[in-house]
Structure 1
Amino acid sequence: MIPDLEQTFRWYGPNDAVTLAAIRHTGATGIVNALHNIPSGEVWSTEEIKKRKDMIEAAGFTWSVVESVNVHDSIKTAGEQRDQHIKNYIETLKNLSAAGIKTVCYNFMPVLDWTRTDIDYRLPNGASALRFHAPALAAFDLYILERPGAFDEFTPQQQHAAKEYLDRLTKEEKQLLITNVMAGLPGTRDVLTIDQFKTFLNRYENTDAAALKENMAYFLQAIIPDAEKLGIKMCVHPDDPPFPIFGLPRIVSTEEDLNDVVNAAPSTSNGLTFCTGSLGARADNDLPGIVERLGQHFHFLHLRNVKREADGSFYEDNHLEGSTDMFAVMKNLVLEQKKRQEAGRTDIAIPMRPDHGHKLLDDFNYDTFPGYSVIGRLKGLAELRGLEMGVKRSLFDA
């Protein structure tokens, strides 16, 4: 009998409008959490880790995955302090391991963790979803941010569509676009100003995709030996969206990129967070095939679905709908579990969480983090749970 995937739920901590008591109703057993109150680059102390772990366990959960221990900009840009920040990162891993927390998700995205132009996109049924609207992003980049060189990165048709979009906006709608785009800072609800964002962009002025990949390899080669000794599984999250924006490089967007990550520091401790939403925003990513070819490196699963549009836009769809064949993905994940079981691996119940749920019903009465309402994700988890059961019975009970 193959164990079920470990059902987890992301919780943003004591200030999250979605309480641990509410999460108990979803059927999840694991919590995905991070100490967002500690600035990037600083060590997570054993005291702070224990305080949060005790809170999670008192509510009846396991702290299954850390998402995320953020990687400091000096590491991504090969700045003067990168070696010190890498030492701090290793110290945090030691403290997490001592607390029995062994799976750590991170990303290597410059400046913003995720980018959306609309965090209240209304679907035909009235539900609220996240959306990336390509003309809106281009309008922001070209005519609001006025980034040097931006016009060279958009076709005349894209520039025309962006200008048409911008001209239709009211003053209030324009400000809302700015707020939405600037709201992707890691683990926070802070919104950058245009000037602050320009300052962040300038830090990456001399860091192209090749340099960023080199800096990631340097980081991994420095931390993975310690992670291996500590029994910690590192798993990088793909870029969101999985293509360059604002002139910033993206290096975890394709299957080739994922291969580069695992090959940069070969180890069972150097793995991947398989996010079907991030990778699924690119039509050239074969998600079931990625599971088949790279599934052995998966330490964490984000299962969500996006609906792609012809111009590069996409929105968060229902978990079992959208542009990704979630049945084929789940089938290959179950087959990956079978391979692990036959190989004698112990990490068969891979932590899985629903992601970027819609706002539904009572969700509208709570000020939750964008994409992290409770009922919408409960619905997604229930659908994924049923899909997993159906796939396993169709494969092994016939």
Structure 2
Amino acid sequence: MEKACSKQHLLQHLLRLLFYLLIFIPSISKALANPRASNNSAPAVIVFGDSTVDPGNNNYVRTVFKANFAPYGKDFANHVPTGRFSNGRLTPDFIASYIGIKESIPPYLDPTLSIKELMTGVSFASAGSGFDPLTPKVSNVIGIPKQLENFKEYKKRLESAIGTKNTENHINKALFIVSAGTNDFVINYFTLPIRRKTYSVSGYQQFILQTATQFLQDLFEQGARRILFSALPPMGCLPVVITLFSNHAISECGCLDYFSSVGRQFNQLLQNELNLMQIRLATHGVRIHLTDSYSALTDMIQGQGRSAFDEASRGCCGTGYLETSLLCNPKSILCPDASKYVFWDSIHPTEEAYNNVFKSIRPIIDAIIRD
């Protein structure tokens, strides 16, 4: 009798354990697959810059620099081309999801956005933009000063909904992301003759540095306290740069090191400037970090790190050497698996590459958003 009771109790314990496992294992697996930041106090993600962080603002601008058509967005939710210059999500989308705000960052110019969407963050970025005032004029897109004006308008909309003091606190705690500068060098300085007549390479680096740091100062004055600033990528590894400037020496990894070296030099200048700004503004609670997208992309291109890519010299769309925007269209031939490619088109990374960039900067995100 005692043995029978003992077996019955054991069976009950096993059934109870099985029940708990059925309930909790899916949740644990989901948490492991989609890790969330701990001690998160950032209520919003606010983004400025170029096509690397534009989720579709150019859909509302008269410009050829658009990506609101197939095959862009091929691997986005519901396979919708949102205006992102990739097959899927961008780095700010991964960041917003990671800190538990929302799954993707919408464009500010979307007229259907609710106050809730506005409060949790938007992107003011515009593909083709840059810090040099000439850069957005070339493409007829939204310049950085206009993006700042749109942000001021955004603040007024929040103030109307939640009041001035609450808006100030909200902005102080928000995570700001700035990603621009590549177009200033690739589209403007190295491709067009105007700036080269006025500036040497080092002179132009200083010019962009001054406009970038002034923009950061403007953001601070508007309430930004937590800022991630993206470093320039290895520009000499962009397929379009290799195609257009192939007369320059190609390195062992297949890149044009001259162009990448310009980016490296600028990143060091920028890091020095951000260090000084951090010291100067530390008493105001400012946290400014340079995110090293240069090293993250270089590691992917050279086949280093946890994620291996099969192709890094050309994009997935078309030939992969020159196509972007209208040249990457519904008639373009695509690679069989974009996740194996570093680049989606001749300039922009794939969703998988952006995800790798996000993973590489996750420790910085944790540091900047903690209370």
Q: TM-score, normalised by structure 2?
A: 0.39
Structure number with higher strand proportion: 1
Q: TM-score, normalised by structure 1?
A: 0.37
Structure number with higher helix proportion: 2
